[in-house]
Amino acid sequence: MIGIIDYGMGNLFSVSKALERIGIPYIISESPEELNNTKGVILPGVGAFKDAMARLREKELDQFIHQYVDSGRPLLGICLGMQLLFEESEENGQFQGLGLLKGRIIRIPDRDADGGRLKVPHMGWNKLHFHQEAPVLEGIEDGYVYFVHSYYADGVGEQALLASAEYGVHVPAVVGQGNVSGMQFHPEKSSATGMQLLTNFAKAMERSEDML
Amino acid sequence: MMTKRIIPCLDVKEGRVVKGIQFVELRDAGDPVELARVYDEQGADELVFLDISASVEGRKTMVDVVQAVASELAIPFTVGGGINALDDMKRILRAGADKVSLNTAAVNNPDLINEGAAFFGSQCIVIAIDAKYDDSIGTWRVYTHGGRTPTDRTVIDWAKEAVERGAGEILLTSMDEDGSKQGFDIALTKAVGEAVSVPIIASGGAGGAEHFLDVFTEAKADAALAASIFHYKETGVGEVKQFLRNAEVNVR
């Protein structure tokens, strides 16, 4: 059973439908008690970093997430949910994140290295470049995935960078360290490749269960 | 590098796809979900559903269509037609659509763009513009009500205003080229693309794969939309993409 953390930010419908299609049971909940009965959790999210962190704190889900990760069970952040895993963000100010991964969230520059104009948000299908092997990337060959975001993670440690996409800057696309992982794009909207990534996360969940 | 997107557009009336789509392998060519699945398998990057229902009942049915498509498909899709208020946007987006497209309603009430962008984020708000060249003003004029009503707005100014108000994308239809099969309107697409900083979806005039190449390379469109050439199988999404790949255009 996967828990989808419902804190009022994001399209839970798409994520839950994607899990149904690949046959993974899930619950959607904002209750730490309920979510604690799962073997892995997904932190989705669309919207602003500041609001998202405020809502997590309000519902004491920030503490829950830390305890959950300490218990060794896997956590997957998607889009804004991935950004929240980092130390801080400069979106509309300076705000602290969950601090589970090293790095900060900054705005995608509107010019590339050659001065060419870049459209922000980074919206559409972009290719994944793989940096290291990881269980979550198993079986991913044709790596096009669907992105919609205006901020990205900067200063991600080499060990945690699993895959990136090129958009003027190197955009960390899949990050992971221990049982914490994140995807900047929307696997639930990324056709067969996205379904494979979610399946891989579910498999990682089963494996971690064996280890616990 | 971002890929150029190919977007089939489906007209839906009272919950059924219209315009006699010719897929012989389909059991039910009027079922939006089944057609959406076919286009997904062909490699469509996104889909647009245009609700052309005339009745309130038909509009309600669209919510069911959106829910069914969102349950079955893992590619992004946009819904346009009949969205006149923030509540309409909420209904469609909560049913599982990724974006809503506003046309006449946004021209009549531009604040709707601000409201939608503030509530859902710019990435959810597409502004659809029907454009027709007007010799008397030497530029393109905005039309509303499905192209029937001329307005006093120019396309370039309206596109700029829409983006300032929070539009995340422009779906730009050339009324001059629509249905011509002579190719997309390069001059129009290029002019709007240079005027605003959000992605442009070119629409109207696609007659073959080479037209997609032109609009991506010459007009720098980010995406291109077509209906009839895909529906009537004059060409497939896969064939267009192969043609583009051979011409070294980046596609998925």
Contacts of A166 in chain B (CB under 8 A): 1
Query: Nearest C-alpha of chain B: how many angstroms from A148?
Result: 7
Provide the 8-state DSSP code for A117.
Answer: B
Give the closest-approach CA distance of B115 to chain A in angstroms: 14
Look at residue B25 in the predicted model and tell me its pLDDT. 57
Percentage, residues of chain A above pLDDT 90: 80
Q: What is the CATH number of the domain that holds A118?
A: 3.40.50.880
Would you call A125 and B45 a contact, using CB atoms and an 8 Å cutoff? yes
Q: Would you state the pLDDT for residue B225?
A: 97
**Residue B39 Cα, gap to closest chain A Cα (Å):** 12
Q: Which residues of A are known to be catalytic?
A: 79, 186, 188
Asked if B168's CB is within 8 angstroms of A121's CB, the reply is: yes
Residue A107: left (phi > 0), alpha (psi -120 to 50), or beta?
beta
Disruptive mutation site among A119, A151, A196 for chain B (greatest number of B CBs within 10 Å): A119
**Which tens digits make up the pLDDT trace of A118-154?**
888 899 999 999 999 999 999 998 789 999 999 999 9
- Domains defined for chain B, CATH in brackets: 5-246 (3.20.20.70)
Quote the mean pLDDT of chain A. Answer: 93
Domain count, chain A: 1
pLDDT number for residue B20: 47
Q: Tell me which residues of B are annotated as active site.
A: 11, 130
Low-confidence ranges of chain B (pLDDT < 70): 19-29
Chain B CB contacts of A192 under 8 Å are 74
Band of the pLDDT at A210, cuts 50, 70, 90? Answer: low
Report the complex ipTM.
Answer: 0.87
- Give me the pLDDT at residue B63, please: 93
* Residues of chain B numbered 212-251 and touching chain A (CB < 8 Å): 222-223
Give the 3-state secondary structure percentages of chain B, helix then strand then coil, rounded to 5.
40, 25, 35
Question: Residues B10, B16, B19, B21: is their CA dihedral positive or negative?
Answer: positive
CA distances from A97 to A50, A83, A94, B30, B114 (A): 9, 8, 10, 47, 28
What's the pLDDT tens digit per position in A58-76?
A: 999 999 999 999 999 999 9
Chain segment A3-43, per-residue pLDDT in tens = 999 998 777 888 998 999 999 999 999 999 999 999 999 99
The 8-class DSSP code of residue B180 comes to: T
Q: How many of the other CB atoms lie within 10 Å of CB of B73?
A: 23
Map residue B202 onto helix, strand or coil.
Answer: strand
Domain span including residue A99: 2-211
